[in-house]
Structure formats: structure tokens, C-alpha cells
Amino acid sequence: MKKLISTFIVTLVGIIVLNFVCSWAAKVSFIDVAFITGLASAVILKFFTSSGGFFSNSARLQAQAQTGIKEQEEKKSFSPGISFYTAVGYTICSVIATAIYYREYFL
């Protein structure tokens, strides 16, 4: 349970720091880049925690070409962890916060 909470906190702090850096670099407000940062974090976490994707197949095919030994193809699998769910939750919260912040613009 401690590991679960610490992973949640580290991921959340990492996304918030990344959001601050992006908003500082672009010279825009924090809320303006919150959705993009959360979405990019979720996509990157999904990309790096899944197996059997494009890069795995590319490496497998290259090894087959060099050795001549046929390997079995990996099944695509993705088992989301707490980091991915944290990024998705951050994205959802940022959409809600953006809608509230800019509610007069939308109405």
C-alpha cells in the first residue's frame, strides 16, 4: 500500500512539475497547458508500459534477419499501473478545471 501511494504521489508531482515547466517555457498560464501535459503523460506512460508494439516487432524482425532463427511474435498487452491511472485522472481533472476557468468563454 505504501508503494502504491508513493507511486501516485511521485507521478502526480512529476506531472505538475512538467506542467509548470511547460507553462513557464511557453509563457502561458498553468491551466492552459494542464490538459495537454496530462494527456501527453498518459500517452507516454501507455507507450512505455505496453509490450508487443511496433518497436518490439521491429527488434524481433531484425534479430530474425541477423540470426536466421524465427522467434514467436509477442502478443500485444497493456497492464495499466497506478502511474497511468494518475495521469488519466490528472487529465480529467484538468479538463474540468479548464471548463470551470473558461466557463464564460464557453457560454
pTM strictly above 0.85: no
Q: Report the pLDDT value the prediction gives residue 76, as an integer from 0 to 100.
A: 67
Which residues 6+ apart lie within 8 Å of 74 measured at CB? 51, 52, 56, 57, 60
Per residue of the chain (107 residues), give pLDDT as tens.
888 899 999 999 999 999 999 999 999 999 999 999 999 999 998 887 766 666 666 777 777 777 767 766 666 666 788 999 999 999 999 999 999 999 888 77
Amino acid identity at 5: I
Instruction: Choose among 80, 97, 1: nearest CA to 42.
Output: 80
| CA 71 – CA 95 distance, rounded (Å) | 44
